Amino acid sequence: MIPAAFDYRVPETVEEAIISLADNPGEGKLIAGGHSLLPMMKLRLAQPGVLVDLKLLREQLSRVWLDGDRLRIGALATHAHVASSTIVRQACPLLADTAAEIADIQVRNRGTIGGSIAHADPAADYPATLEALGALVTVQSASGTREEEFDSLLIDAFYTNLGETDLITEVSVPAYLPRTGGSYHKFANKASHFAIVGVASRVRLDAGGRIEHVTVGITGAGPRATRAGRVEDELQGKEPTGENIDAASVHAAEGIDCLSDLHGQADYREHLTRVLTGRAIRDAAARAAA
């Protein structure tokens, strides 16, 4: 199908992009990689009056750098860039490993981390890891710049608290401390490679080998990514034994209104969530101990 007619803008600065959105309230849509928006436009599920192409901002907004104890990534950094970046692999290997699991090489070469965050697909890979890492998202708009927690940005499937003139400019995560490991496991749809369920875990061990800090992020199971708080609480201060991890992972799906669709019923997703949580924590703990 052919998209509905639209105006096309190619701003040279972030400020110009925001002005284009402000001048067309409710009509403007930002486009970066385009893998999500363009198919929706072709099906006329999305009919923006103005398409604001960010291609001239790619160099400005694709930088990856260490800022003290935080890793910062420009919103237009592609998945392939995140996956292959030496800085990311040294400072936060979990994020690089997750990016490498996204879709296929064509999507990874065009899709962007900022676009994935803004789209808020409940089956996307990044959200599990961004939840586990406690990511912060920098947003610029007509009213100024703010930084907010990734978790607070999400509301529901394909629904965030981003306003009409909001533009994500970067995402930041804490760099690994000593004795830290991370792992992302997913059960993927074989056609699309989206996560039917995906689980990311970051584990930090103390000098005695006990779990000093653990986080678990889950995607695909419910309408939005979530943290498995009960699992984290159960493991705090304990040894990362198989028995302890299994006992905690039983609680992984608590609080999630698991989805039912042609890819899997709710009880199947609950089972996958528990199994993948155990695997992710085990791998993360083993990497932390290595």
Q: Residues 149-193: pLDDT tens digits?
A: 999 999 999 999 999 999 999 999 999 999 999 999 999 999 999
Helices (H) and strands (E) in the chain, counts: 12, 14
pTM higher than the cut 0.85? yes
Give me the pLDDT at residue 22, please. 95
Owning domain of residue 155 = 64-174
The count of domains in the chain is 3
Give me the pLDDT at residue 35, please. 85
Residue 147: phi and psi, rounded to 5, are -125, 125
**68/123 same-domain check:** yes
User: Which of the listed residues 127, 146, 174 is the one where a domain comes to its end?
Assistant: 174
- Domain at 121, CATH number: 3.30.465.10
**199/253 same-domain check:** yes
**211/265 same-domain check:** yes
**88/140 same-domain check:** yes
Asked if the structure places residue 215 within a domain, the reply is yes
Residue-averaged pLDDT of the chain? 97
Asked if the structure places residue 124 within a domain, the reply is yes
**194/275 same-domain check:** yes
Asked if the structure places residue 166 within a domain, the reply is yes
Asked if the structure places residue 59 within a domain, the reply is no
Q: How far is CA 152 from CA 94, 131, 226, 230, 242, in A?
A: 21, 10, 11, 19, 32
**72/158 same-domain check:** yes
**74/157 same-domain check:** yes
Give me the pLDDT at residue 136, please. 98
Dihedral sign computed on CA atoms, order 160, 233, 88, 65: positive
Give me the pLDDT at residue 1, please. 76
**189/206 same-domain check:** yes
**225/131 same-domain check:** no
Q: Residues 240-272: pLDDT tens digits?
A: 999 999 999 999 999 999 999 999 999 999 999
**190/139 same-domain check:** no
**71/160 same-domain check:** yes
Please count the CA atoms within 13 angstroms of the CA of 113 that sit on its side-chain side. Answer: 35
- Domain at 215, CATH number: 3.30.390.50
Asked if the structure places residue 159 within a domain, the reply is yes
Q: How far is CA 68 from CA 8, 61, 72, 132, 257, in A?
A: 39, 19, 10, 20, 38
Written as one letter, the residue type at 224 is R
CA distance 197 to 207: 33
Asked if the structure places residue 281 within a domain, the reply is yes
User: Which of the listed residues 142, 174, 206 is the one where a domain comes to its end?
Assistant: 174
**166/119 same-domain check:** yes
Q: What is the pLDDT along the chain (290 residues), one digit of tens a residue?
A: 789 999 999 999 999 999 999 999 989 999 999 989 999 999 999 999 999 999 999 999 999 999 999 999 999 999 999 999 999 999 999 999 999 999 999 999 999 999 999 999 999 999 999 999 999 999 999 999 999 999 999 999 999 999 999 999 999 999 999 999 999 999 999 999 999 999 999 999 999 999 999 999 999 999 999 999 999 999 999 999 999 999 999 999 999 999 999 999 999 999 999 999 999 999 999 999 99
Asked if the structure places residue 2 within a domain, the reply is no
Give me the pLDDT at residue 194, please. 96
User: Which of the listed residues 159, 174, 189 is the one where a domain comes to its end?
Assistant: 174
**Three-class SS of residue 24?**
coil
Asked if the structure places residue 104 within a domain, the reply is yes
